[in-house]
């Protein structure tokens, strides 16, 4: 029997499960990839999560919580299992982190979300670019003053980060990103004085965000902050 007050969503979930075999990636309830209860239970606030040790010069990185439990399940299902319907709720979580990073600036100020680039081989293997998709969903959530600008490019030679420690990640990514000058000129004309926020799905050692920041600043683009969905458990969740 449908729960009083919410019969239609529950019936719709049952129909989706019957036809497509979908289940909530968080609680395994039949129906949508993220059920209404888990959607309502998402973190509503974000804060600064500094990695330990922290790469020198890293801008404040904002996250809604620890990379565990529901947040981990959502990120992995979207990234590795191509549950593309999760782009919107993940984008909303990323938007929460972005909004926290912009709390000190005036309303209506232009904002650019710059997603961390993925290796071309990884995008082909997965069939989508999860970070770019989430950044675009976050921009739609935040409104017309926020745009997505995929400015960063990866140089050849970057390997998969999985299994690398902090030193290995830093060495793998050192000098790995670049920003084409024509792209910077176009953005400068369209969005002068925009606040730039680098976006990724998960903060681990901070090496990826720091390299993205370095590449943008080398091209003359000042970075205001970084925003992610979640930060790994072994990183500090306290404001610096």
Contacts of 33 (CB under 8 A, 6+ apart): 22, 23, 24, 25, 77, 83, 85, 86
DSSP 65: E
Q: Give residue for tokens 């009083």.
A: 4
Distances in Å between the alpha carbon of 235 and those of 8, 16, 96, 129, 199? 41, 38, 20, 25, 18
Please, what is the average pLDDT of the chain? 84
Percent of the chain, pLDDT > 90?
A: 63
Which pLDDT tens digit goes with each residue over 2-44? 444 444 544 444 444 444 458 899 999 998 899 999 999 999 9
Distances in Å between the alpha carbon of 157 and those of 100, 161, 170, 236? 35, 12, 14, 30
Which pLDDT tens digit goes with each residue over 180-224? 999 889 888 888 889 999 999 999 999 999 999 999 999 999 999
Mean pLDDT, rounded, for 142-165: 78
Query: Rounded to the nearest 5 degrees, what angle is found at the Cα of 126, between the Cα atoms of 208 and 48?
Result: 30
Which pLDDT tens digit goes with each residue over 113-130? 999 998 877 778 778 899
Q: Give residue for tokens 């024509």.
A: 182
* β strands within 85-222, DSSP E: 111-115, 146-148, 153-154, 177-178, 195-199, 202-203
By DSSP bridging, strand 202-203 and strand 223-227 are unpaired
Mean pLDDT, rounded, for 140-167: 78
Q: Which two tokens stand for residue 171?
A: 């060495």
Q: Using alpha carbons, select from 51, 58, 53, 90 the residue that is nearest to residue 226.
A: 58
Please report the pLDDT score of residue 167 as a whole number.
63
Contacts of 56 (CB under 8 A, 6+ apart): none
């Amino acid at each position: 029997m449908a729960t009083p007050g919410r019969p239609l969503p529950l019936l719709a979930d049952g129909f989706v499960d019957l036809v497509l075999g979908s289940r909530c990636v968080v609680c395994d309830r039949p129906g949508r990839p993220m059920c209404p209860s888990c959607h309502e239970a998402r973190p509503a606030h974000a804060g600064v999560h500094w990695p330990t040790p922290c790469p020198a010069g890293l801008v404040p990185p904002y996250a809604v919580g620890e990379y565990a439990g529901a947040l981990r399940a959502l990120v992995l299902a979207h990234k590795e299992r191509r549950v593309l319907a999760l782009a919107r709720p993940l984008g909303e979580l990323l938007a929460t982190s972005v909004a926290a990073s912009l709390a000190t600036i005036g309303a209506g100020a232009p904002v650019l979300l710059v997603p961390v680039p993925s290796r071309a081989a990884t995008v082909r293997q997965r069939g989508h670019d999860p970070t770019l998709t989430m950044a675009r969903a976050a921009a739609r959530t935040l409104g017309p003053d926020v745009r997505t600008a995929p400015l960063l490019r990866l140089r050849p030679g970057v390997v998969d980060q999985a299994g690398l420690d902090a030193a290995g990640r830093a060495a793998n990514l050192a000098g790995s990103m670049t920003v084409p000058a024509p792209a910077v000129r176009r953005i400068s004309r369209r969005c002068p004085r925009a606040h730039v926020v680098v976006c990724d799905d998960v903060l681990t050692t901070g090496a990826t965000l720091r390299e993205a920041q370095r590449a943008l600043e080398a091209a003359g683009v000042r970075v205001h902050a970084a925003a992610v969905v979640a930060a790994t458990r072994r990183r500090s969740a306290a404001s610096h």
